[in-house]
Structure 1
Amino acid sequence: MPPFLAAAVEQALRAPSVHNTQPWRWRVGADSVELHADPDRHLPVTDPDRRDLLLSCGAVLHHLTVALAGAGAAAVVERLPDPEDSTHLATVSVGRGPATGAELFPAIAQRRTERRQMSHRPVPEEILADLAAHAARAGAVLLPVTGPEARARLAEVFRQAGQLQRSAPGYPAELRLWTHRLPGAHDGVPAAAIAQVRTHTDGAPMLRAFPDGRLRQGAQQTGHGRPDDAAEYLVVATTGDTVLDRLRAGEATSAVLLAATLAGLATTPLSQATEVPAVRQALGSSVLRVPEQPQLVLRVGWPATHADPLPFTPRRPLPTVLLA
């Protein structure tokens, strides 16, 4: 196994995934890397149509190309290369030519998922435009949810999704399984990465209700911005809703999250509104009112003042995710 390829895959493992399930496996060759979905890490109740699984794998695929670019290697990506193997999502070969995306490489180690309130300081339009450009280069569109009416409709679809999921048989148990891992586990969402909720109105209404958070909220500058915070809500969307569309949406998600991190922003991927089919349809028709297919909601904003640093969330060691 070439050391630089192994190092790039190890860097890619920092990619975000639903509930930090890390639903991927890898096969590393002499000059290429295969990305495979790991069906054993699919969340059947939370993610009934495997959208989250594919988005997660798309994010780790983009992280890999950025890690290779950081090492000076150009990546040639063949998506869905084997019609007979639906788990084989991509083969990444080292090619000739300029390595694109190297500027995002430092953000791989810096990015965290922020589940606390954010600052009342607004995000400049030029940064939002840059994030949209990153999404477009990765094969998706980034649609902002602006205005009080649209934001209220967005909050409502998240409320509906949460209500439907909480009443779904097996959902509470699945959520608890991935937020109460055994000591020494290398996956799941630890309590130290989940914000404490002091009241039912604390924080943004679109955040998933994780149990037993221990992360302290940061201080807020009162009297400025929106009543919750000044975070922006951006929807990653695609023209279609095929396996390839979902994979590309995951790549675009990675590109946006890394670019936002480099700009100093905090970020939160929010998948709950797209996990329930009827709610996802409402997100497209009543909130966005566009023909594109919503794949994921991203929350971006400035970190709150004096917020404690976000901890690393665990990742599985490289040998445990390799295929023979």
Structure 2
Amino acid sequence: MRDIMTISRRKMLTIIGGGTILAATGVSTLFATTRRPGKALAPWEAAGGESEPRRRALSFAILAPNPHNRQPWLVDLSEADTVTLYRDTERELPHTDPYQRQLTIGLGCFLELMAIAASQTGHAVELDLYPQGEDGPVAICRFREGATPDPLFAHVMDRRSCKEPYSAEPVPAAMIEQLSPLADIRTEPDDVAKIRDLTWQAWLTEMQTERTLMESVELMRFGKAEINANPDGIDLGGPFLEALMLAGMLSREAQADPASTGFKEGVRLYEEMLFATPAYAVQTTPGNSRADQIEAGRRWLRLNLTTTSLGLSLHPVSQALQEFDEMRPHYEKAHAMLAPAGHTVQMLGRLGFGPQANPSPRWPLETRIING
């Protein structure tokens, strides 16, 4: 649920000077209108198209937020009325998520979205977490009839992680009250300023540590063809970004080189985004077991849907919660600032009013099914 230098149309205009790069590279209207990675976005359009209740619920579950868009879920449908969920061990983030904590939170988001979608066909989902320990399935999920439809489902297709500057408009007290069962909402100016600085310093640490930077760079998908071929990781697409690629201003090599102009501009834009944040949402758990991490993911998904229902934007900025050595000072500071004694901060997110974001690419459901 982290991101790196995702550049919007508004940001891109600051780089290309109102169109000079588009003109210099001969980018036509036809080019601009054909840059949508339709194959990678097809799962959003296909959601709900399955008739079998488990498959229908899963067609929505694969749209869940997850770290670096790794989509670390595999499901077995060989047992009737049951979904057995596994973590795909080939989709790990060994440098930024060495203990798979963030990936496990992503699996919690998946499980909650599956349960919400299942409720629409009158099915409750009973979860048996880690029935064989951590080396076995993450959860055995049994579908039972008798559920009441969850009203949050109405916002599933509009849910996003908005990685843009937010307006200075404060989050109204009434909205904070609605969100407070799901997260600790921080709005006090001094508190917000300290968290902004923490998120910025932590992001710089990730970018300035070679192995964690390269973990992100290796997961970047440059342009429509790469995104369609591998609809996971960090998608860098659309006509403006692809115009920069054509002009040689955006490349994998440049993103791996902190001395490059493109890298430095990305840092400036990311700083602008991080500091345009009027509030933060914090989620903690008393412990840090796998069950705690799954529960944090379930709550994060509900928080994301609730913010969507209120017209608010939410964006995870959890770099300070990563557990690699160079991040330790920020990790300790985050826990001192944000968690009750002994608790673990599981998620930290920017909160405010931002623009509508585009959906993220997804692998088709059939690629996530290993049996059935």
* Same fold? TM cut 0.5: yes
The separation in 2 between residues aligned to 1:282 and 1:87, in whole angstroms, is: 34
- Equivalent positions of 1:255-270 (< 5 A) are 255-270=302-317
2:315 aligned partner, one-letter code = T
Equivalent residue, structure 2, for 1:300: 351
- Equivalent positions of 1:186-265 (< 5 A) are 186-192=231-237, 201-205=271-275, 228-230=276-278, 232-265=279-312
Is 1:105 the counterpart of 2:153 in the alignment? yes
- Cα offset, 1:115, TM superposition: 0.6
Stretch moving more, 195-204 or 252-261: 195-204
Q: Say whether the 8 Å CA contact 1:150–1:287 is kept in structure 2.
A: no
Instruction: Give the superposed CA RMSD.
Output: 2.5
Q: Say whether the 8 Å CA contact 1:52–1:271 is kept in structure 2.
A: no
Q: Structure 1: state its 5+ residue gaps.
A: 136-141, 206-227
Deviations 1:284-306 (A, max 9, x none): 11344554210111222222xxx
Equivalent residue, structure 2, for 1:74: 124
SS at match of 2:161: coil
Which has a greater percent of helix?
2
Is 1:19 the counterpart of 2:68 in the alignment? yes
- Cα offset, 1:201, TM superposition: 4.8
Equivalent residue, structure 2, for 1:163: 204
1:297 aligned partner, one-letter code = L
Stretch moving more, 284-293 or 245-254: 284-293
SS at match of 2:294: helix
- Equivalent positions of 1:144-163 (< 5 A) are 144-163=185-204
- Cα offset, 1:68, TM superposition: 0.3
The separation in 2 between residues aligned to 1:92 and 1:301, in whole angstroms, is: 34
Taking a change above 3 Å as real, the CA distance of residues 291 and 145 of structure 1, as seen in their structure-2 partners, is farther
Is 1:286 the counterpart of 2:337 in the alignment? yes
1:76 aligned partner, one-letter code = E
Q: Structure 2: state its 5+ residue gaps.
A: 1-49, 242-264
SS at match of 2:234: coil
The separation in 2 between residues aligned to 1:110 and 1:6, in whole angstroms, is: 20
Equivalent residue, structure 1, for 2:358: 311
Equivalent residue, structure 2, for 1:218: none
Q: Say whether the 8 Å CA contact 2:179–2:185 is kept in structure 1.
A: no
Taking a change above 3 Å as real, the CA distance of residues 272 and 87 of structure 1, as seen in their structure-2 partners, is farther
Q: Say whether the 8 Å CA contact 2:216–2:234 is kept in structure 1.
A: no
2:336 aligned partner, one-letter code = S
- Equivalent positions of 1:40-59 (< 5 A) are 40-59=90-109
Identity of aligned residues (%): 25
SS at match of 1:43: coil
Which of 172, 177, 182 is equivalent to 1:124?
A: 172
Q: Say whether the 8 Å CA contact 2:86–2:138 is kept in structure 1.
A: yes
Stretch moving more, 286-295 or 173-182: 286-295
TM-score normalised over the length of structure 1: 0.81
Deviations 1:198-237 (A, max 9, x none): 65752224xxxxxxxxxxxxxxxxxxxxxx343x201111
SS at match of 1:170: helix
Taking a change above 3 Å as real, the CA distance of residues 199 and 57 of structure 1, as seen in their structure-2 partners, is closer
SS at match of 2:272: coil
Deviations 1:97-124 (A, max 9, x none): 3336x21112211111111111222222
Q: Say whether the 8 Å CA contact 1:79–1:244 is kept in structure 2.
A: yes
Q: Say whether the 8 Å CA contact 1:192–1:311 is kept in structure 2.
A: no
Structure number with larger C-alpha Rg: 2
Stretch moving more, 39-48 or 285-294: 285-294
- Cα offset, 1:150, TM superposition: 2.1
Taking a change above 3 Å as real, the CA distance of residues 179 and 26 of structure 1, as seen in their structure-2 partners, is same
Taking a change above 3 Å as real, the CA distance of residues 45 and 178 of structure 1, as seen in their structure-2 partners, is same
Q: Say whether the 8 Å CA contact 2:186–2:281 is kept in structure 1.
A: yes
Deviations 1:60-87 (A, max 9, x none): 111100110122211212222222x535
The separation in 2 between residues aligned to 1:144 and 1:44, in whole angstroms, is: 30
TM-score normalised over the length of structure 2: 0.71
SS at match of 1:161: helix
Taking a change above 3 Å as real, the CA distance of residues 162 and 261 of structure 1, as seen in their structure-2 partners, is same
Q: Say whether the 8 Å CA contact 1:153–1:287 is kept in structure 2.
A: no
Q: Say whether the 8 Å CA contact 2:286–2:343 is kept in structure 1.
A: yes
Which of 35, 39, 62 is equivalent to 2:89?
A: 39
The separation in 2 between residues aligned to 1:153 and 1:291, in whole angstroms, is: 21
